[in-house]
Structure 1
Amino acid sequence: MKIPRYPAAERGLAMVVVLVFILILSGVAAFAVRRVMFGEHVARNVLDMEVARQAAEAALRDAERDISLAADVEGAACARGDDRPINSAYGEPNFGTDCPRGQCRFGDQSPAAYYAASNSKSKTNPEPWWPAAMGGVGWKASPPSTCNFTGAVPLGTFTGTPGVTGVSRQPEYLIEYMQRGDDIYFRNTARGWGLDPNTEVVLQSYFKRS
């Protein structure tokens, strides 16, 4: 009599091995996707920062043109008025602590001593471009709606310079009256944004009229 033989019971070892390999491959793929997305995010931020920097550079050049112009510009949003061109009347009311039409002046008697004692932590002798929490007066939440404003000047307001494309807000600048001895010069502070309104760059330059 021949005794029948039955196959050995399956223990599922092969399935466990396959599942482990699938789990490993899934982890590797997820890590690769995460790295790609992180790299794309970093590249996008770098590009947006560069856009904001170039916008701030454009505002600095616009401030220098604003200082140098001698007459109104056709097509500009605002007429230059009696306070522009910036040539002889460097004091009040053309320049003031509330930065009328972007023209700031601090320390009327001794600007050099005023700035030497500036301290943002103690809010001592604030500079106009500091945040409001530090005593600054220059930056506003939104661009001015009229030509009689205080604070920063949006690009092209007095010069007719075309706006910058690909930004969340047009760059703006402040012009500070500075003096060292008999030399009169200006410190221009510009702020630019990228496509993301949270991307912001602040630049400064010193300008002396010839």
Structure 2
Amino acid sequence: MSCTVCRRASGGFSLIVVLLMLLVVTVLALGAAQTSLVSERGARNDRDTEVAFQAAEAALLDAETDVLGPNLHSRQRLCLFSSQDVSAFGAGCAAAGNRRGLCAPAEPGTEPAWMTADFSADAGRSVAFGDFTGQAYLSADAAKGAYAGALPVRAPRYIVEAVRSHGGWKADHLQDASASGTRYLFRVTAIGYGTREETQVVLQTVLSKPEASPGCPS
């Protein structure tokens, strides 16, 4: 009887050890799976952000062509960008015709246009990539159901805001404060989208156009 009891006790102890080992292995496997999922999600987010960043950079370059040229597209609007005349720029960013996305200078003490601008396509107050340059940027919305891969969900967009220049590059040199002496710079704000619309990157640059484009009034 005593030997039988010993064998039963030994078998019960072995079962407990095996169950504990299975529990440890399960916990380790779950931890490894969770780590793998987090790493995969992080890599996907990094790729998505990079797609949006590249799209925003492309929009800045497209805006540079729009403002400074050379631009031979039939819809080019180079003559609207003058360092002395920004009458084509509208409050809240113009939405009509070739003035679309041109934002008038903000009044002193108010938020600049880029902070309040509506970049959605439906609002019609920003410029989609290539609208005035004829350049193309492949995006998922333009692929018409084709496999999108790493394409942005929609084309990048930008606005151009007139900003008063308060001086040149010369040291201790301020600009003439009179209305006739006012000069303007052009601040471009571009937004790029990732493969998911909620992934967005906003970039800015400031363009100087001291001379009119060829064929435009100086």
How does the TM-score come out when normalised to structure 1? 0.74
Aligned length: 175
1:158 to 128, 132, 141: 132
**1:7 match:** 4
Moved over 4 A (4+): none
Unaligned runs of 5+ in 2: 95-99, 140-150, 166-174, 176-181, 211-218
Instruction: Sort the Cα spacing of 1:35 and 1:185 in 2 relative to 1 into closer, same or farther, 3 A.
Output: same
Does residue 185 of structure 1 match 2:180? no
**1:133 match:** none
Q: Which has the higher helix share?
A: 2
Instruction: Sort the Cα spacing of 1:18 and 1:152 in 2 relative to 1 into closer, same or farther, 3 A.
Output: same
Does residue 91 of structure 1 match 2:86? yes
Q: Post-superposition shift, 1:84?
A: 4.5
Unaligned runs of 5+ in 1: 118-124, 131-135
How does the TM-score come out when normalised to structure 2? 0.72
Alignment of 1:81-160 (within 5 A): 84-88=78-82, 90-92=85-87, 94-100=88-94, 101-107=100-106, 114=108, 117=109, 125-130=110-115, 136=116, 138-143=117-122, 149=124, 151-160=125-134
Greater mean deviation of Cα atoms: 14-23 or 165-174: 165-174
Q: CA RMSD in A?
A: 2.4
CA contact (8 A) 1:68 1:86 kept: no
CA contact (8 A) 1:170 1:193 kept: yes
Residues 16-56 of structure 1, C-alpha deviation per residue, up to 9 Å, x if partnerless? 10000000000001001100110110111011111101100
**1:30 match:** 30
Q: Residue 159 of structure 1 aligns to which amino acid in structure 2? A: T
